[in-house]
Amino acid sequence: MCGLVGYIGERDVTPILLDGLKRLEYRGYDSAGIATLVNSHVEIVKRAGKVNDLENLVALNPKPATIGLGHTRWATHGEPSDKNAHPHIDHTGTITLAHNGIIENYAAIRQRLQRDGVEFTTDTDTESLLQLISAFYDITGNLEDAVRFALSEIDGTYGIIVMSSKEPEKLIAARMGSPLALGINDGEYIVASDASAIVGHTRQVIFLEDGNIATLTREGYEIKTIYDEKIEHKVTEITFDIEQIEKGGYDHFMLKEIHEQPQTVLDSMRGRILKNHGTAKLGGLRDVMNALNSAQRILITACGTSWHAGLVGEYMLEQYARIPVEVEYASEFRYRSPIIRHDDVVIAISQSGETADTLAALREAKLQGASVIGICNVVGSTIARETHAGVYTHAGPEIGVASTKAFTSQLAVLSLLTLMLGRNRGFISLEQGVEIAKEFEAIPGKIQQILDENISEIKTIADSITESTNVLYLGRGYNFPTALEGALKLKEISYIHAEGYPAAEMKHGPIALIDENMPVIFIAPQDKIHEKVISNIEEVRARKGRVIAIVNHDDEQIESLCEHVIKIPPTTDFLTPMLTIIPLQLLSYYVAVNRNCDVDQPRNLAKSVTVE
């Protein structure tokens, strides 16, 4: 997953590129570079490291220009290095390109061009595409045609920005499987991997579709298909502000986004709860309502945190809407020859809307005739546009690589869907529905209460487990998936090994791990299986395990058994995970800070994994 940005206009392009790359750095950050046209000559500055390192390098020899492109990389082919950093330049020194995606047939192209005498200078798949464009450019003398012909030979995914010193008034962008957004301003255009690099300049954005090639000049833009057919595109008004993607006074984006959750869960529900009717309204699903109301089965497919949200969705949809639900890792779903019936409904959950595995899974489901719904956070993302219908979570840009507010917003949307289907299918009565709707509206305030009351205790607990090498998270029912999510949070930002498990399942193996060095975090709200959880806590205590628990305020029984407790307000069972995950997000954050980890950009990770 990489960040791409390009500009053509009248302003000095360098600060625009560098600022854009900083806003895109969460997408990938092992190397970065910019290319500008200075007096019809390509100037490239690039290096391994973060955008700040690049900025310092550029400042050593500033060169004003008004057209250029930039890239921040998450390596897929070729290790992170100055040489492999983008942008690349072709062997003639006139065409430069930056790329996001994977060229699957790069090796064959490389061999063919090397046989024709082309010298390759990097280890990347991207260079094969660049040198192929260069080869066609020798023939056509026209950059758009050369790009189009080259792309017609490509297998794989790309989002690219290209320019040539021989045509200094032109920037070309093209996409297949990797997102590109085009910002439109007076006499200038900004193209980028997503709107966060554009919104500081303009809110008028076109989201390019797969197979599109956009040609940008100071006089205007043209979008064509790869077959040279002109196409019209609708312009989207971007609503979020640049401040929303700043840190807002918090030390890290992740902490800001944890604290945003009272607002973002509210935003996810806004206008969607019909309290007096005890139901919910999801306008984005109007075209698939019949399919949903009559569905014999719902398949949920996702990755990572989104998959955990799907697991919670399974429990609630089966309990309250009585629909059989199966939850599948997207990466497994696609390749295991799944049996998908035309009356199945498939729900793809994805914060970024660009996760390659999830996109591939939904395409498979569509091919087999299912109705496919998207639950996405990023407006105009590929998954959002390729599903038959969908619901945006409205959590706003999530910059921290570890997903927090997107998770609770996904849970909010799944809860709304459950309420709506439970009512439509007659398994939730009007009275029940009104009660649930009331409780739903209280959730943002309860999240705020947890944030207000528990920071100090959570910091104390974080201090007590910062040196641990293993942590076990245990929960039952709706809080088994929450245990998985809590463990993932700790793993991915503090690098401590953690495992989530159904509390009762701990007896069938993991109990062997329990000793005085093992912190065991129980998620134990007062629900119908509360007594069972207490038995599980006793089993851990009998083996000297260190017990930490998330409990409801008046739960003295469990408090007396624990080293630490975090107290949260009660709520309806299927809404509980929106509350119990909050302390676990904060706990992982403070442990990671104690361990001086890069909280917002953990090692080896990227915000959106657009490679399979």
Q: Which residues bind ligand AGP (CB under 6 A)?
A: 303-306, 350-352, 355, 358, 401-403, 492, 608-609
Q: Smallest distance, Å, CB 64 to ligand AGP? A: 38
Q: Which is nearer to ligand AGP, 84 or 306 (CB)?
A: 306
Answer yes or no: 2 catalytic. yes
Q: Smallest distance, Å, CB 240 to ligand AGP? A: 17
User: From the candidates 50, 256, 446, 607, which is the catalytic residue?
Assistant: 607
79 token code pair: 């290790």
Q: Which is nearer to ligand AGP, 325 or 383 (CB)?
A: 383
Please answer whether residues 584 and 489 qualify as being in contact, where contact means their C-beta atoms are separated by less than 8 angstroms: yes
DSSP strand E in 440-530: where? 470-475, 497-502, 519-523
CA distance 78 to 80: 7
366 token code pair: 């569509």
Count helices and strands in the chain by DSSP H and E runs: 18, 26
398 token code pair: 């999530």
Q: Which is nearer to ligand AGP, 305 or 571 (CB)?
A: 305
Q: Smallest distance, Å, CB 403 to ligand AGP? A: 4
Q: Which is nearer to ligand AGP, 84 or 403 (CB)?
A: 403
CA distance 96 to 98: 7
The dihedral sign for the CA sequence 258, 262, 264, 268: positive
Q: Which is nearer to ligand AGP, 96 or 350 (CB)?
A: 350
Q: Which is nearer to ligand AGP, 35 or 303 (CB)?
A: 303
Q: What angle do CA 106, 112, 115 make, to 5 degrees?
A: 135
Q: Smallest distance, Å, CB 353 to ligand AGP? A: 7
CA distance 377 to 367: 24
Q: Smallest distance, Å, CB 499 to ligand AGP? A: 15
Whole-angstrom CA distances from 93 to 67, 81, 130, 213, 544 are: 17, 20, 11, 23, 67
CA distance 422 to 405: 25
CA distance 574 to 315: 8
Q: Smallest distance, Å, CB 529 to ligand AGP? A: 27
Please answer whether residues 224 and 145 qualify as being in contact, where contact means their C-beta atoms are separated by less than 8 angstroms: no
Q: Smallest distance, Å, CB 71 to ligand AGP? A: 21
Following DSSP, what letter does each residue of 89-156 receive, concatenated?
E-TTS-EEEEEES-BTTHHHHHHHHHHTTPPP--S-SHHHHHHHHHHHHHHH--HHHHHHHHHTT--B
Residue 608: beta bridge partners? none
User: From the candidates 2, 376, 562, 597, which is the catalytic residue?
Assistant: 2
Q: Which residue is nearest to ligand AGP (CB)?
A: 304
Answer yes or no: 532 catalytic. no
CA distance 176 to 171: 17
Q: Which is nearer to ligand AGP, 221 or 329 (CB)?
A: 329
Residues catalogued as catalytic: 2, 607
